[in-house]
Amino acid sequence: MKRHILIIAAVATSLAACTPKTETKTEKDMTSLTFNTEQAAAMSAIACNEAKADYTALAEAINDGLDAGLTVSQVKEALSHLYAYTGFPRSLNALGTLQKVLEQRKAEGKSTEEGVEASPLPADYNALTQGTEVQTKVSGRAFNYDFCPAEDYYLKAHLFGDIFARDNLTHADRELVTVSALSGLENVMPQLQAHVRGALNMGVSEEQLRNIPVALKANGLQAEALRCESAIAVAVDGKTDVVCAQSPWPIGDPNTAFAQYFIGNSYLAVLDPASGLCNVSFEPCCRNNWHVHHDAVQHLVCVSGRGWYQEWGKEPVELVPGVVIAVPEGVKHWHGAAKDSWMQHLTYHTDVKPGNSTEWLEPVDDEWYGKIK
């Protein structure tokens, strides 16, 4: 009798497991970032290095992310998501890097949280309808790419329909990943600016958005961070189009030692300490004060972007790549970026005499600077 009761109980338990539950699944909030600050910073580095195809740095960023509590599911989904923005080759190579990282962590006995996979979609799910709705929210308006209807369909039905429907990343998560990745690519500024706006539309806060370039800089991605800052300056701050210098020359570190003599932000990369050869990067509108070099001749070699050099009493000279300026000893002058462009120039000194010095003078007048074309 006891045995029969046990069998009946087991059957009842089995039937209960097979019987669909009547309660409805709570829909996940797709309009908020699920990463904490440390996880978001790691995810930005992961996405940007995937876009740059720097798989050594990517492996390091993945490890940092997993240590911070990102799940395998989240990282895998982010790298898969990015095939739509950076291409299958980068996405597949990045997923291969993730596999190697996981194998190494397992061999080293490091804990890794698997996380949950995306929820199954309902049988009547319409990717085109849902994707059109999501794309409209991301763009802030209805968007129809009539020039190429096939591309329009792919964007709506596949990217914003199929991919964005996978809920192991929220829409806000996906936009953070996308902005971070596009910051790692050259010559996609219109798309980067659009996704900066889209990130805000999909629930990323302005603080979380501005943390993306902060995270990129912390991971040694200086040029990529500046590109992201330029997009935010246009898309969020309402500045006129900002051209971010695309240059192989290093950005360097914030030029804090001389910040008091500059309007705006500049960056300094020492290339040769022995000769004093440096690369100086100026953000748009950044320029140094009027100044004089005593007992030395300064040489400026513009290597990227656009800017200005001016001697006292003379008209400004445009700085574009290839322009070389020899600043005479004792001549009052200034140099800096244009209003709408980054500018980088190399600088070094010749005819240096003992006791040489730089005399810093008044700032360049805002009204005068604003009139320079």
Q: How many CB atoms lie within 10 A of CB 6?
A: 10
List C-alpha distances in Å: 13 to 122, 302, 337.
27, 77, 74
Instruction: List pLDDT tens digits, range 144-195.
Output: 999 999 999 999 999 999 999 999 999 999 999 999 999 999 889 899 999 9
Residue 119 has what DSSP assignment? P
Residue positions counted in the chain? 373
Q: Which helix (H) or strand (E) holds 7?
A: helix 2-18
Could you give the 3-state DSSP secondary structure of residue 249?
Answer: coil
Where do runs of H (alpha helix) occur along 154-267? 171-182, 189-201, 206-218, 222-235
User: Which are the contacts of 35, defined by CB distance < 8 A and separation ≥ 6?
Assistant: 43, 70, 173, 176
pLDDT (0 to 100) of residue 21: 38
User: Tens digit of pLDDT for each residue in 53-102?
Assistant: 999 999 999 999 999 999 999 999 999 999 999 999 999 999 999 999 99
Q: How many CB atoms lie within 10 A of CB 215?
A: 23
Contacts of 240 (CB under 8 A, 6+ apart): 234, 339, 340
Condensed to tens digits (0 to 9), the pLDDT of residues 219-238 reads: 999 889 888 988 998 899 88
pLDDT band at 253 (very low <50, low <70, confident <90, very high): confident
Instruction: Yes or no: say if 63 and 75 are a contact pair by the CB < 8 Å rule.
Output: no
CA dihedral sign of residues 158, 160, 164, 165:
negative
Q: Cα–Cα distance between 94 and 76 in angstroms, integer?
A: 9
The whole-number pLDDT of residue 252 equals 81
What backbone phi and psi angles, to 5 degrees, belong to 126?
Answer: -115, 105
User: What's the pLDDT score for residue 11?
Assistant: 34
Domains of the chain: 37-116+168-235 (1.20.1290.10), 253-371 (2.60.120.10)
In this predicted structure, what is the pLDDT of residue 28? 77
Long-range contacts of 125-128 (CB under 8 A, 24+ apart): 125/165, 126/161, 127/157, 127/158, 127/161, 127/162, 127/165, 128/153, 128/156, 128/157, 128/161
d(CA 61, CA 337): 33
pLDDT in tens, 15-48: 334 433 333 344 678 999 999 999 999 999 999 9
Q: What is the DSSP string of 13-38?
A: HHHHHHSPPSSPPPPP--SS--S-HH
pLDDT band at 9 (very low <50, low <70, confident <90, very high): very low
Instruction: Show the tokens assigned to 271.
Output: 């290339």
Q: pLDDT for 270-295, tens place per residue?
A: 999 998 999 999 988 999 999 999 99
Neighbours of 254 (CB within 10 A): 13
Contact criterion met (CB below 8 Å) for 350 and 297: yes
Q: What average pLDDT does the structure give for the chain?
A: 90
pLDDT in tens, 317-348: 999 999 999 999 999 999 999 988 889 999 99
Selected residue with higher pLDDT from 252 and 12: 252
Q: b/e for 304-316, b at 16 or more Cβ within 10 A?
A: bbbbbbbbeeeeb
Task: Give the residue from 175, 168, 214, 207 showing the smallest Cα distance to 193.
Answer: 175
Provide the whole-model pTM. 0.71
Q: How confident is the model at residue 373 (pLDDT cuts 50, 70, 90)?
A: confident
- The type of residue at 254 is P
Using CA atoms, how far residue 157 sits from 131, 165, 277, in Å, is 5, 10, 53
The residue ranking higher by pLDDT, 197 or 230, is 197
Token digits of residue 60: 């390091």
Rounded Cα distance between 225 and 80, Å, is 23
pLDDT value at position 152?
96
CB atoms within 10 A of CB 56: 9
Q: What's the pLDDT at 243?
A: 56
For 130, the token pair is: 């849902």
